[in-house]
Structure 1
Amino acid sequence: MSKIEFKSHVPVAQKAALEALLFFNACQERVSACIADAIEKFGAPEIVADRDRLRIHMKGLPEVQSLFAIDVQTGRPVGVAVYARQDIEHVTVVHIGITSEFASGGRRANEQLLLKLLREVRRSTRRVKGIRTMDLFYATATGRAGPSRATAKVLM
């Protein structure tokens, strides 16, 4: 079991792994309706290079931020949360990606990477003055993603 660290960027050398995580993720079918809703509302995520680092850009959210879960041994991104401050009190997580090995049913699912990633987003946004809630765009009232998606709120 390798260690995971959280960073705001991914090295350019990991572009293929980031593309696989963000665009070709085997787990996307579980939340495909939510992904389509997020793209319609916020725009499609794009990977952009900023010198020797990669970040996520979204045309519909110019101030979007990303938090990456990085496997320390390989440097490979294994999770990402893309979020933005919607107004003075709210942060919305508009996209989440976790590699299949960490997803439900994956060989490392017991490490609860999704929960750790969301906790880290919450921890980092708590430091921003005025933020009171974090909205999870993919969440549903029933706990499953799908056509009846409703945004879930997490109090800071």
Structure 2
Amino acid sequence: MEIKIDDLQGSGIIRLLEEHLADMHATSPAESVHALDVKALQHPSITFWSAAEGNSVLGCVALKSLSCDHGEIKSMRTSGAARNRGVATKLLNHLIADAKSRGFKQLSLETGTQAFFSAAHGLYAKHGFVDCEPFGDYQPDPNSKFMTLVLEQ
């Protein structure tokens, strides 16, 4: 598996992100969906990675810079065919290492509260993320779970 910065131009990554957005809208009320589309993920404050084997996109993750020392995880997704193969763990470890190399002291994220998101909750908790209050521009929302990790340098 190769993890690399992705330009969000390939049909495989676009399909994966479209699937991600469709699942988010099918699972959460529209006002509680904070997933970004391809155009939003191309913002200069965001670094986007994909994981692939050959021509098969296995997953993706993005790091949004909130400040000089605080980043937000966005668009964490593993393709259906690649689930339970450790793709999400490898992507998360890659993102954490990159955040540390940038001098970030904290990573935060927003995810859903529905049962659909329980695997994500477990993944983040396993890596030391703990529940926190809304951060950045987020507001309290019964459909949102906020988590954070203080990074050891």
- For the aligned pair, the TM-score class normalised by the smaller chain equals 0.5 to 0.7
Is the CA contact (8 Å cut-off) linking 1:81 and 1:97 kept in structure 2?
Answer: yes
Q: Verify the 8 A CA contact 1:17 1:77 in the aligned structure 2.
A: yes
Instruction: Report percent identity of matched pairs.
Output: 11
TM-score for both structures, normalised by structure 2: 0.66
Q: Which of 137, 150, 153 pairs up with 2:145?
A: 150
User: 8 Å contact 1:65–1:83 — kept in the other structure?
Assistant: yes
Match of 2:65 among 56, 72, 85: 85
Structure 1, unmatched stretches of 5+, are: 49-55, 104-108
- 1:71-113 CA distances to partner (integer Å, 9 max, x unpaired)? 1xx232211112211112211012212100223xxxxx1x221
Match of 1:127 in 2: 101
C-alpha RMSD of matched pairs (Å): 3.4
Residues in 2 aligned to 1:126 and 1:113: alpha-carbon distance in whole angstroms: 20
- Is the contact made by 2:3 and 2:49 (CA closer than 8 Å) also made in structure 1? yes
Mapped to 1, the partners of 2:107 and 2:144 lie a distance apart of 16
Distance in 1, matches of 2:149 and 2:51, equals 20
Superimposed CA distance per residue, residues 27-80 of structure 1 (whole angstroms, 9 cap, x where no aligned partner): 9259842985314xxxx32259xxxxxxx414xxx4111111111xx2322111
Q: How many equivalent pairs are there?
A: 128
1:136 and 2:106 equivalent? no
Taking CA–CA contacts closer than 8 Å with sequence separation of 6 or more, which of the two structures ends up with the larger relative contact order?
A: 1
Aligned partners of 1:95 and 1:137 also within 8 Å: no
1:7 paired to 2:4: yes
Does the C-alpha gap of structure 1 residues 124 and 31 become closer, same or farther in structure 2, counting only changes over 3 Å?
farther
| Aligned mates of 1:46, 1:94 — CA distance in 2 | 12
Task: Give the TM-score, by structure 1 length.
Answer: 0.65
Query: Are 2:17 and 1:37 aligned?
Result: no
| 5+ residue gaps, structure 2 | 122-140
1:19 and 2:53 are equivalent in the alignment = no
Within the candidate set 92, 102, 123, 1:118 is matched to: 92
Separation in 1 of the partners of 2:26 and 2:97? Answer: 25
Counterpart secondary structure, 2:96: helix
In the superposition, relative to structure 1, how do residues 138 and 97 fare at CA in structure 2: closer, same or farther (>3 Å)? same
Q: Which runs of 4+ in 1 moved over 3 A?
A: 29-32, 145-148
